C-alpha cells in the first residue's frame, strides 16, 4: 500500500510569515511530486510540480524534494489570508498514478 502522509493541521501562521507544509511518502520508487491547493467547496488546483531533488521556486511558492529521506515540502513566503486552504501532497510511483495525502489545512491570520 503506497502512502502519502501529511499533518492534517490546522496550521496557523500570521500574515506575512512563511508557511511550511510537509509530506512524506512510502514508495521509494516515486518519481513525480505535486502540490495541490483546494479551497473549501472547490476542486484541487495544481500549484507546483517537482521531479528532482532540490528546490523549485515559483513566485511565493517553493517546493523542496529529498528523495533519500522520502520527503517533500512546500514553503509559502509572505503568506496572505487568500492562501488559507487545504494543501494536498500527491506522488506518482513507478507503476501507479497519483496518490494523494489527506491534506494540511492552512489558516493565515490577518
Please select the residue that binds another protein; options are 85, 103, 106, 108, rule is CB under 8 A. 103
Give the binding-site size for another protein (rule: CB under 8 A): 19
Is 28 among the residues that bind another protein (CB under 8 A)?
no
Is 61 among the residues that bind another protein (CB under 8 A)?
no
Cβ proximity to another protein: between 17 and 98 the closer is: 98
What is the full DSSP assignment across 16-82?
TSPEEEEEEES-TT--EEEEEEE-TTS--EEEEEE-SSEEEEETTEEEEEETTTTEEEEEESS--GG
Please, which residues have CB within 8 angstroms of residue 52's CB and are 6 or more apart in sequence?
Answer: 65
Q: Footprint of another protein on this chain (CB under 8 A)?
A: 31-32, 34, 36, 42-46, 49, 88, 90, 92, 97-100, 102-103
Amino acid at each position: 500500500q503506497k502512502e502519502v502522509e501529511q499533518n492534517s493541521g490546522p496550521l496557523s501562521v500570521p500574515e506575512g510569515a512563511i508557511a511550511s507544509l510537509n509530506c512524506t511518502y512510502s514508495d521509494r520508487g516515486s518519481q513525480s511530486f505535486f502540490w495541490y491547493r483546494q479551497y473549501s467547496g472547490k476542486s484541487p488546483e495544481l500549484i507546483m510540480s517537482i521531479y528532482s531533488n532540490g528546490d523549485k521556486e515559483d513566485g511565493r511558492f517553493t517546493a523542496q524534494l529529498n528523495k533519500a529521506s522520502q520527503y517533500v515540502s512546500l514553503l509559502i513566503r509572505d503568506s496572505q489570508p487568500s492562501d488559507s486552504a487545504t494543501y494536498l501532497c500527491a506522488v506518482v510511483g513507478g507503476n501507479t498514478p497519483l496518490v494523494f495525502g489527506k491534506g494540511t489545512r492552512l489558516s493565515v491570520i490577518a
